[in-house]
Amino acid sequence: METKKFLLLIGVAAPIAIVAVWVISWYQELPLRTAAFYRESGDVGAAIAQVDQYLVAYPENVQALSLKAQLFCDSGRFRDAILIYERVGPATAEDWLSYTKALAATQRWNAAAATAATYEAQYGAHADNYLWGVISLTNMGRLDEAIVMSEKLAQLEGRESQGLLLYGELKARQSANEEAVNAYKKALELNPSAADLHIPAEAVFESFATLLLDLGRSAEALEVIDRGLAISDTSGLHHQRGLALLSLGRGEEAREEWLAANKSAPNVASLLEMARQYLNEGDPTRALAVMRHLQNMEEIDSQVAYLMQSISDALGKTEDAGKWREVHDKLRRQEAVEGSMSQVITTQPYNSWSVVFRAYFSSKYQRWQEASDMLQTVEKDFLEEDAYLVLRDAIGAQKLGPEVLEAFSKKIAISQ
């Protein structure tokens, strides 16, 4: 009899205990469910607050930390998201997507390409993963791999134009010009307004116009530019319209477009074209007046220096011309070194020196973390290479001085 009572008690108590555990668990995870609700309603700040409330009681909970990392990505706090993923690692497909996006957004291209590949291997095709992967591979100079991934993106419903656009950009970099032009054309046939892409619509038309102008197809470029201007009236498109018109022998109209390009803010490229045009017409005074509109003259390239030298010569300012000649020669030497580095990146993307050179360009634009990540991947190959060590120290100090390019100049001179 006692045994029957005991079994009856167990039979009643067990379901009650299960329900009690479920209720406790449900109540404990209420902040996470509330966070998910706020996230779906677009209130990311409130969602993060709910997750933080949960983490006060359970600071090591991986589910809560992963959700917080995803929310950081939603709100553009990519570095904070990366810190969480570096601590607990991505646990789900959504985590891998968020991690890849955060790495790409912070220009840590090498790491982003690796996580994009991991996602595809584990979970298969995903448009956003392909997008971040293409962008990351492209920035590392791994164009063949990027092209393959852009083709995969173009095969996904709703993202065909985006994939084709990326494919066209990459083929243009490889000088496969007809393939590039056809890809651009098809992308704009599918998406005439270039809407909902990874770059603004005007950038799409500018990119296509640049390709056509480089190929000498100015009339076609003009049509593309006019389509772009109908969607977005930008300084860059007006500048390109001026280039197309000049190439077609319509110089006065070109100048009007360059003036339009400078309505809101100085457009350096258009100012240079106007100054060059005035100089070619024998009016160096007006050319100099245009050049005075340029800002940050200390951040110039050899073209600007040469134009200033030519204007000074035409005005009979011998001393000024001599100074600009010295500046021009110095900049030309620097650009020659960087040109050699870029050539290695393009022709030998998997060469260890190519990785080092990409790290240099990343650091030049103050992408210090990405530059450091790149150098670490090839460190064992360069422990006794002066140029590598000089760059590594500069990146560590986050200051790229003239000694870096000088070191690479010596290395390139020796290799040639």
Query: 294-320, pLDDT tens digit by residue?
Result: 756 656 789 899 999 999 999 999 999
Check if the beta carbon of residue 390 is closer than 8 Å to that of residue 381: no
Structure tokens at 349: 């993307």
In this prediction, residue 416 carries a pLDDT of 52
In this prediction, residue 20 carries a pLDDT of 41
The Cα 9–Cα 25 span in angstroms is: 24
The Cα 7–Cα 142 span in angstroms is: 69
List, as one string, the DSSP characters of 178-236: HHHHHHHHHHHHH-TT--SSSS-HHHHHHHHHHHHHHTT-HHHHHHHHHHHHHH---HH
Give the global pTM. 0.80
* pLDDT over 50 at 156, yes or no: yes
Structure tokens at 219: 């009339």
- How confident is the model over 79-96, as a mean pLDDT? 94
The Cα 241–Cα 228 span in angstroms is: 10
DSSP 8-state symbol, 326: H
From residue 147, alpha-carbon distances to 123, 130, 139, 163, 262 in Å are 20, 11, 12, 9, 36
- How confident is the model over 317-326, as a mean pLDDT? 95
User: In 296-324, which positions are buried (b, 16+ CB within 10 angstroms) versus exposed (e)?
Assistant: eeeebebebbbbbbbbbbbeebeeebeeb
